[in-house]
């Protein structure tokens, strides 16, 4: 039976910039279990205290779909398996399944282990045989198998036979350096099947950008266990990405590796693990990225509105994603109509307002505005074109001071603002850790007594991009702000040669969008009551 094997918590943590705590690892394990992963490799208990602690705490965590796996190496040369510290640590992890790796490449046996080729075979055979009597399942990772086969096929095959003799339930062929091309993999796997009877698995790395392709082709060649990581996390260029492999297997190849309900959790799982890794989500990632089902060109959007499969290879909701239509100077009438429908704005296809919005959009994008990450600003732009945008306050002026008194001290920022709401003038000031933060604080302070719901708004992200290269400090800048209120998130944009002014535009849009959405929500609730 086909099985998915996740190594995010072991191989994935070897990636640059990734460091999970014990609590992170427990939460990820539970999330992978919900997704329907069959085997979760929790770490190498013989290598570090954190993994030892993780396996200890996992004794009290119930898994419903997955089996936890401890990972380690074969015994040391010259030692008996029962006396080897690594083998002891694996058994102490108290898992029902264990994976050990051994050397398949004669280069590593001679240069890294510095033992004879025959002695390496004994290490593999003896380690597996000893563990086989202690746990329910034992898997063998044939490290560097494909490179080993290319260098010395006869010896690489002997290592698999030794693992088979040791009782391994599955022999996992590892492309550890990630340099094997798909045609090579097919040829090698077909030869392997002539020499061993044990089930085969695949563990691919992505150094040649072929890890997912190699994994899928390995399944076509009979592999019954596929290793990978969520989001492709892993050392160097990463491991095979399960977020692509799983839907490819289920939706393209008809392999029922997880249920349809579990598949709809794929995007959620991807984003959850990005968050715990404290890394930005890869918006261009296949299947689960924000851009995976995003359409920008007007011709594309026109077709998608009529029939989504004209430009979508699968239905996005199958993997928990959704269709998006972007607005830019490439947009046509179809894009605007789609966004109006998405925002709940009633515009007919022949309404001249659409052409007005398109004209304004192209003019603003020419100045540097960009709405792909600032859909809240675009919705407000549409409201303005329809003369439906409400002014919640009138700015009477603001001043920002950024002062540094001593070289060893941080700068001091203060913003003063004066505005009017319904004829009432509010004049206030606030400090911040920078000029934009001070201005944001002052603006909120002035408005919150009139609009208490703004206390819920939090600035989640703030990005500045220089637009006109070559002008140095006189260049135009674009500011993108992401805000949230605990219920939803939204993006806004501002552009100016003055970074404070660009920030002001984005901040104002952010707060006005919140107020606009609150009013819209109340209006809908009022209609329901009537």
Q: Which of 463, 467, 308 is nearest to 373 (CA)?
A: 463
Contacts of 23 (CB under 8 A, 6+ apart): none
Supply 476's token pair: 């135009």
Cβ–Cβ under 8 Å, residues 95 and 135 = yes
CA 484, CA 284: separation in Å to the nearest integer?
23
- Give the pLDDT of residue 116: 97
In the three-class reduction of DSSP (H, G, I as helix; E, B as strand; rest coil), residue 39 is classed as strand
Distance in angstroms (rounded) separating the CA atoms of residues 321 and 265: 9
- Do the Cβ atoms of 218 and 181 come closer than 8 Å? no
Q: How far is Cα of residue 57 from the mean position of the Cα atoms in its chain?
A: 26
pLDDT at residue 495, as a whole number: 92
Tell me what percent of the residues of the chain surpass a pLDDT of 70. 92
Distance CA 72, CA 49 (A): 14
Please enumerate, as own/partner, the contacts of 113-120 that have beta carbons within 8 Å and a separation of 24 or more.
113/77, 115/77, 117/155, 117/158, 119/77, 120/159
What is the per-residue pLDDT for 341? 67
CA distance 188 to 223: 13
Nearest of 195, 110, 185 to residue 150 by alpha carbon: 185
Which is more confident, 413 or 363? 413
Two tokens at 232? Answer: 């492709």
Kindly give, in sequence order, each residue whose CB lies less than 8 Å from that of residue 270, ignoring residues fewer than 6 positions away: 230, 231, 243, 281, 285, 288
Greater model confidence, 52 or 328: 52
What CATH number belongs to 3-258?
A: 3.20.20.70
> Is it the case that residue 11 has pLDDT exceeding 60?
yes
- Please determine, for residue 298, whether its predicted confidence score (pLDDT) is greater than 70: no
Pairing of strands 477-484, 489-496: antiparallel
pLDDT in the model for residue 471: 59
The predicted pLDDT at position 278 comes to: 83
Which pLDDT belongs to residue 459?
87
Do the Cβ atoms of 293 and 310 come closer than 8 Å?
Answer: no
- Return the structure tokens found at 52: 């030892």
151: Cβ–Cβ under 8 A, 6 or more apart, which residues?
Answer: 105, 106, 107
Regarding predicted confidence, which is higher, 522 or 209? 209
Buried b (16+ CB within 10 A) or exposed e, 453-490: ebeebebeebeeeebeeeeeeeebbbbbbbbbbeeeeb
Confidence of residue 455 (pLDDT cuts 50, 70, 90): very high
Residues 6+ apart with CB under 8 A from 311: 295, 300, 303, 304
Given a contact cutoff of 8 angstroms between Cβ atoms, the answer to whether 325 and 316 are in contact is no
pLDDT in tens, 250-264: 999 999 999 999 999
Report helix angle 153-165 to 117-132, nearest 10: 20
pLDDT, mean of residues 159-186: 98
Q: Is residue 276 predicted with pLDDT exceeding 60?
A: yes
Judge whether residue 351 has pLDDT over 80: no
Q: Return the closest-CA partner of residue 12 out of 38, 44, 35, 34.
A: 44
- Closest CA relative to residue 478, chosen from 464, 492, 491, 468: 464
Mean pLDDT of 192-207: 98
pTM, 2 dp: 0.74
pLDDT of 479-528, one tens digit each?
989 899 988 889 899 999 999 999 999 999 999 999 999 988 776 666 55
Residue 352 in tokens = 């001249």
Domain boundaries defined on the chain: 3-258
Query: Do 173 and 203 meet the contact criterion of CB atoms below 8 Å apart?
Result: yes
* Bridge partners of residue 325, in order along the sequence: 295
Highest mean pLDDT among 100-104, 291-295, 353-357, 363-367: 100-104
Check: CB of residue 132 under 8 Å from CB of residue 170: no
Lowest mean pLDDT among 94-98, 434-438, 469-473: 469-473
pLDDT for 24-62, tens place per residue? 999 999 999 999 999 999 999 978 899 999 999 999 999
Return the percentage of the chain with pLDDT > 90, whole number. Answer: 70
Contact 223, 202 (CB under 8 A): yes
């Amino acid at each position: 039976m086909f099985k998915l094997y996740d190594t995010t918590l072991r191989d994935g943590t070897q990636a640059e910039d990734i460091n999970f705590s014990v609590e992170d690892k427990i939460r990820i394990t539970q999330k992978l279990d919900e997704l329907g992963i069959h085997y979760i490799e929790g770490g190498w208990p013989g290598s570090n205290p954190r993994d030892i602690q993780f396996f200890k705490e996992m004794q009290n965590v119930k898994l419903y779909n997955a089996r936890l796996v401890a990972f380690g190496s074969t015994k040391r040369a010259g030692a008996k398996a029962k006396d080897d510290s690594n083998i002891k640590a694996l058994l102490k992890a108290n898992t029902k399944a264990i994976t050990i790796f051994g050397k398949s490449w004669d280069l590593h046996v001679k240069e890294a282990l510095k033992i004879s080729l025959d002695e390496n075979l004994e290490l593999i055979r003896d380690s597996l045989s000893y563990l086989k009597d202690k746990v329910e399942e034992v898997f063998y990772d044939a490290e560097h198998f494909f490179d080993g086969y290319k260098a010395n096929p006869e010896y690489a095959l002997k290592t698999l036979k030794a693992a088979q003799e040791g009782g391994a339930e599955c022999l996992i062929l590892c492309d550890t350096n990630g340099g094997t091309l798909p045609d090579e993999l097919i040829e090698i796997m077909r030869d392997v099947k002539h020499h061993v009877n044990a089930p085969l698995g695949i563990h691919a790395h992505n150094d040649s950008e072929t890890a997912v392709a190699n994994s899928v082709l390995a399944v076509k060649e009979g592999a019954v266990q596929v290793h990978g990581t969520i989001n492709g996390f892993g050392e160097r260029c990463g491991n095979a990405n399960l977020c692509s492999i799983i839907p490819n297997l289920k939706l393209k190849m008809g392999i029922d590796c997880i249920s349809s309900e579990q598949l709809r959790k794929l995007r959620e799982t991807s984003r959850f693990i990005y968050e715990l890794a404290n890394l930005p989500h890869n918006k261009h990632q296949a299947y689960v990225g924000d851009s995976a089902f995003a359409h920008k060109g007007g011709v594309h959007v026109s077709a998608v509105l009529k029939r989504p499969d004209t430009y979508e290879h699968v239905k996005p909701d199958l993997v928990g994603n959704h269709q998006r239509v972007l607005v830019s100077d490439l947009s046509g009438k179809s894009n605007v109509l789609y966004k109006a429908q998405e925002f709940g704005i009633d515009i007919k296809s022949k309404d001249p307002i659409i052409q007005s919005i398109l004209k304004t959009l192209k003019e603003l994008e020419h100045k540097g505005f960009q709405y792909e990450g600032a859909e809240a600003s675009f919705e407000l732009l549409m409201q303005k074109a329809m003369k439906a945008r409400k002014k919640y306050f009138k700015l009477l002026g603001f001043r920002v001071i950024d002062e540094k008194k001593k070289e060893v001290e941080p700068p001091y920022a203060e913003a003063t603002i004066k505005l009017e709401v319904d004829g009432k003038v509010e004049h206030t000031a606030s400090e911040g850790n920078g000029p934009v933060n001070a201005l944001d604080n002052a603006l909120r302070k002035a408005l919150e007594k009139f609009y208490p719901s703004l206390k819920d708004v939090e600035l989640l992200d703030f990005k500045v991009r220089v637009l006109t290269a070559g002008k140095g400090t006189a260049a135009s800048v674009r500011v993108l702000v992401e805000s949230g209120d605990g219920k939803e998130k939204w993006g806004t944009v501002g552009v100016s040669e003055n970074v404070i002014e660009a920030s002001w535009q984005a901040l104002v849009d952010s707060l006005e969008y919140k107020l606009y959405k609150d009013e819209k929500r109340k209006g809908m609730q009022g209609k329901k009551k009537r």
